[in-house]
């Protein structure tokens, strides 16, 4: 247990200090997030002009803190690196780098969208598929569809089918977290719950290898999950409303990739939509909004504004009320996911006895 706590605490401290350092550095260089005033359809948007001048790209501090916590924890005897975790880290860095480039472009051009936003989806999809293919090619990852463990439901997809399946999961999760990142602390706070859940899941797999033998080095995955949880907690100190720094796309894409890859490597793919229940709710609201708008001949909208957190803002809810209530939704969703996982574990352990 000590390496898990070490990983989380080190990541939290580095994120806390690193975010403060980034705030000072980025403010001195004028690297602030462009604030949307009115979109192309002249819709009413939330009044966020008071956030003008807030530094962005805070996700760099989160990812640096994760790496620090993860590496320091391996100084303890018995904690070994696994090829799955290292490939996952490389994939997280690759997707985060796409977000970083887009953040830099947005800041320099002083516009809410990066210059290559129309192509970012294709780039992230290609990277997601590449990361999934790397897991299949270079590790012993299980290629079955899984809920709480590899053999439930245990549908075998084969290397090609699983690569497509896993790539789609990574792509969808990164975009879902990116959509959620629209209010101060919303994405980081909800992700914190998810990473704690994966730490519990991976550690349970480590303590019960005879039940979860399909997971490759679950202890290393638990350490990585703890590092992400700690990094999100440290970042929230500065990102909570009113935010002094935003995570930017570099943070959102990195966190989204991490959540997806932890689900894939712990064989809890079908449990991910529940662990990321708030993110599913957010990106689902965007999909429904677009569907209704197009089906009505571009005359009607389901929500006043999407994603759904902005709908409640323009309906009169204060930003902090939206954030706290959405955190509660995220916490309840994660608790339900852990309930499903623990119920299956209890049945499995009972059958073993």
Closest CA to 146 of 195, 215, 61: 215
The whole-number average pLDDT for the span 119-140 is 95
Instruction: Provide the pLDDT confidence category of residue 186 given band limits of 50, 70 and 90.
Output: very high
Domain ranges of the chain: 2-273
- pLDDT at residue 41 in the model: 47
Q: Is the pLDDT of residue 43 over 70?
A: no
- pLDDT at residue 108 in the model: 80
- pLDDT at residue 216 in the model: 92
Q: Is the pLDDT of residue 141 over 50?
A: yes
The whole-number average pLDDT for the span 183-202 is 97
The DSSP code sequence of 7-25 is HHHHHHHHHHHHHHHHHHH
Contacts of 96 (CB under 8 A, 6+ apart): 59, 63, 250, 251, 253, 254, 257
Q: Is the pLDDT of residue 287 over 70?
A: yes
- What is d(CA 19, CA 55) in angstroms, rounded to the nearest whole number? 10
Cβ distance 224 to 89 under 8 Å? yes
The predicted-structure confidence for 262-279, as pLDDT tens digits, reads as follows: 999 999 999 999 999 999
Q: Is the pLDDT of residue 47 over 50?
A: yes
- pLDDT at residue 29 in the model: 80
Q: Is the pLDDT of residue 38 over 80?
A: no
The predicted-structure confidence for 146-162, as pLDDT tens digits, reads as follows: 999 999 999 999 999 99
Predicted TM-score of the model (pTM) = 0.94
Closest CA to 162 of 199, 194, 117, 132: 132
Q: What six digits make up the tokens of 324?
A: 């706290």
Instruction: Provide the pLDDT confidence category of residue 33 given band limits of 50, 70 and 90.
Output: low
Question: CA angle 236-121-299, nearest 5°?
Answer: 95
């Amino acid at each position: 247990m000590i390496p898990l706590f070490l990983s989380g605490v080190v990541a939290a401290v580095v994120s806390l200090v690193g975010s403060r350092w980034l705030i000072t550095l980025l403010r001195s260089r004028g690297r602030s997030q462009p604030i949307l005033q009115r979109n192309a359809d002249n819709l009413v948007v939330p009044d966020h002009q008071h956030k003008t001048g807030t530094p962005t790209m805070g996700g760099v501090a989160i990812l640096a803190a994760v790496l620090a916590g993860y590496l320091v924890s391996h100084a303890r005897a018995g904690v070994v690196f696994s090829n799955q975790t290292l490939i996952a880290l490389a994939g997280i860095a690759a997707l985060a780098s796409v977000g970083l480039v887009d953040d830099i472009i947005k800041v320099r051009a002083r516009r809410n969208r990066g210059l290559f936003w129309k192509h970012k989806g294709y780039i992230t999809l290609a990277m997601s598929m590449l990361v999934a293919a790397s897991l299949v090619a270079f590790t012993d990852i299980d290629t079955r569809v899984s809920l709480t463990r590899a053999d439930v439901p245990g549908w075998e997809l084969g290397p090609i089918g699983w690569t497509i399946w896993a790539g789609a999961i990574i792509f969808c999760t990164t975009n879902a977290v990116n959509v959620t990142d629209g209010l101060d602390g919303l994405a980081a706070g909800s992700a914190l719950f998810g990473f704690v859940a994966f730490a519990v899941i991976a550690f349970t797999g480590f303590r019960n290898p005879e039940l979860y033998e399909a997971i490759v080095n679950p202890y290393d995955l638990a350490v990585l999950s703890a590092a992400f949880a700690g990094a999100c907690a440290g970042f929230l100190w500065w990102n909570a409303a009113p935010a002094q720094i935003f995570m930017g796309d570099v943070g959102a894409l990195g966190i989204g990739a991490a959540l997806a890859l932890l689900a894939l490597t712990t064989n809890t793919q079908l449990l991910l939509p529940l662990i990321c229940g708030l993110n599913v709710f957010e990106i689902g609201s965007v999909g429904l909004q677009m569907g209704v708008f197009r089906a009505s001949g571009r005359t009607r909208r389901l929500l006043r504004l999407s994603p759904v957190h902005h709908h409640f803002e323009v309906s009169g809810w204060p930003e902090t009320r939206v954030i706290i209530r959405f955190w509660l939704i995220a916490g309840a969703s994660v608790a339900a996911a852990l309930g499903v996982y623990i119920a299956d574990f209890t049945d499995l352990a009972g059958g073993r006895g």
